[in-house]
Chain A
Amino acid sequence: MLLDFDKLGGLKPFLIGLTALVCLFLILPIVFIAALSFGSSQWLIFPPPSWTFKWYQMLFADPRWLWSALTSLKIAAIVTVLSVILGFLAALGLNRGSFAGREALRALFLTPMILPVVVLAVALYALFLQLGLAGTTVGFIIAHLLIALPFSIISIGNALEGFDKSIEDAAILCGASPWEARIRVTVPAVSHGIFAAAIFSFLASWDEVVLAIFMASPTLQTLPVKIWATLRQDLTPVIAAASTILIAFTILLMVLAALFRKGRKA
């Protein structure tokens, strides 16, 4: 009865009320930021005395914002490609292989995801200082690849789990070479996993703050580093404007993902 929605009785208003409050708690900060980004108050008074686009104008007038966004985009794009390729190969190996220590290897690959990022950041920073990779694009890519890769391995691994390998064998018996079969049969069959891997990898890099703070140099900053540095000085509404653009971008990604899922079902 406790799991029958229509028979909850007095619990129903309680649960619905609490859930509504939690929804408000989760959505309000996002709505506030979007609203304040159009408000005229420098001190982020709510409700704003009047509405304005000036924070967006300031945002776009400062080339460092645009530059850091482009840097983020470039790094995230490269990380996404590498993460999907390495992730596909690793997932294939873990899924198909029968070598010893397979489970231990899987656990090892997923460790960067559960480890406190700050530990990884400090350790990599020390290494990169010695290798001369600190403050370079390559350093950024390696760091972000480490935390993006687990998402790829999980997403593609799950998709491979649901894929019957004998279909690939059938393609080989039809005359395809193993790699041809893999690319023409397996890759399309697990495309939803690859798509998920790409989205998660991109977001993992695009939103990453901690590693980026350590990897950044005055000349090489990603968007989160730029926001972080600005935040440490003051709470200027320009950040609200930047955040709103990021939120819009997130919603776009969610809609894309939803459409993709719908398309797959139809």
Chain B
Amino acid sequence: MTQPFLSIQGIRKTYGQVTAVKNVSLDVAKGEFMTFLGPSGSGKSTTLYILAGFQDPTDGDILLNGQSLLSTPSHKRNIGMVFQRYTLFPHLTVGENVAFPLRIRRIGQAEITERVKKALKLVRLEGFEDRKPALMSGGQQQRVALARALVYNPPVLLMDEPLSALDKKLREEIQFEIRRIHQETGVTILYVTHDQEEALRLSDRIAVFSQGEIDQIGTGQELYANPATHFVAGFIGDSNFINAEVLSSADGKAKLALPGGTVIDGVPMHAGKAGGKSASLLLRPERLSLSGMQVANGLAVTINDITFLGNNIEVSTQTGNGESLSVRLPFGHEAISSISRGDQAWLSFEPKSTHAFA
């Protein structure tokens, strides 16, 4: 094993009785785009703040190139950061904002001018040097903040929900810019967001945070196809869960009885406590097929509603014991023509592609 570029080791943070971060460990490779994804209060921002040095961990260590960062104060960590709120210095022009880290580092005026110009070019704001931040849009301000964070070539760039204050269209536009800048500069990025779509679009790998811990780390595809926990399954992609009875389980595969009596075998079983009686079965809406006629090992449901969503159709259904399941069918699917609201229908799926969580 070579030494990891950035290593977060067993970070814990408590405030009196409250534990914000329970036990977070994670390695990041040089040049990687790593996203911390999770709901608010899951510990992702606190972890980022500990990296930045705004907070000290109760326990654990952070190593950059094998050196502990914890004893280094924020201003000597040489880390870049873009914040959730607009943090440009309001009394300085855009050019002076970007020049600020360079002036602190006592770099010569000629070089400052050139590097500021380059940084503004990187974020496509050439010629904005003399503007005051207050006269710029939110998206422009965040791009200047990005330029300011990158101008001193930090090895690591932290981004704390930098786009959450922007509207959807602008957000997508800047997501694209961030990807481009990541590719152009090769900087290692740690990105915090609660938006799964943003995480999937930007990241090389995603760490899913829940209640102060990392539930799973992986690429977007891995998290979608093989969620390790119920929480990850629910957070990444669309999902249905139904209750099932565990008949037997061995080697990570389980035999389950579904409501209505259908029995399926070979379902990947996660976090199974031996002898656990009931489990939650994940059924992805886009992986269910629907038929108006009874099918073997199908799940009997009633059609509640059919909604046309452009390139696909969402069918809301209900099982015999009242659990809701939504099904997504491609536009023009043959089953649509034969069913209508209130009808009986049957859902079928590949047991291998589902997951059960005890």
Contacts and interface: CB of A to CB of B under 8 A. Distances in A.
Direct contact of A and B (CB under 8 A): yes
Contacts of A6: 55
B229 interface: no
Interface residues of B, number: 4
Interface in B205-238: none
A198 to B, nearest CB: 39
B20 to A, nearest CB: 13
A1 interface: yes
A7 interface: yes
Contacts, number: 7
Interface string A234-257: 000000000000000000000000
Interface in B50-104: 54-55, 74-75
A182 B75 CA distance: 58
B227 to A, nearest CB: 37
Contacts of A1: 54, 74-75
Q: How large is the interface on A (under 10, 10 to 19, 20 to 34, 35 or more residues)?
A: under 10
A1 to B, nearest CB: 6
5 contacts: A1-B54, A1-B74, A1-B75, A7-B54, A7-B55
Interface string B39-53: 000000000000000
A4 interface: yes
Contacts of A4: 54
A167 B228 CA distance: 55
Interface string A7-36: 100000000000000000000000000000
Interface string B8-32: 0000000000000000000000000
A6 B13 CA distance: 14
A25 B55 CA distance: 34
A176 to B, nearest CB: 43
Contacts of A7: 54-55
A1 B56 CA distance: 13
A7 B56 CA distance: 9
A6 B75 CA distance: 16
Nearest to A6: B55
Interface in A89-147: none
B231 to A, nearest CB: 31
A189 to B, nearest CB: 34
B13 to A, nearest CB: 12
A204 B54 CA distance: 46
A50 B75 CA distance: 59
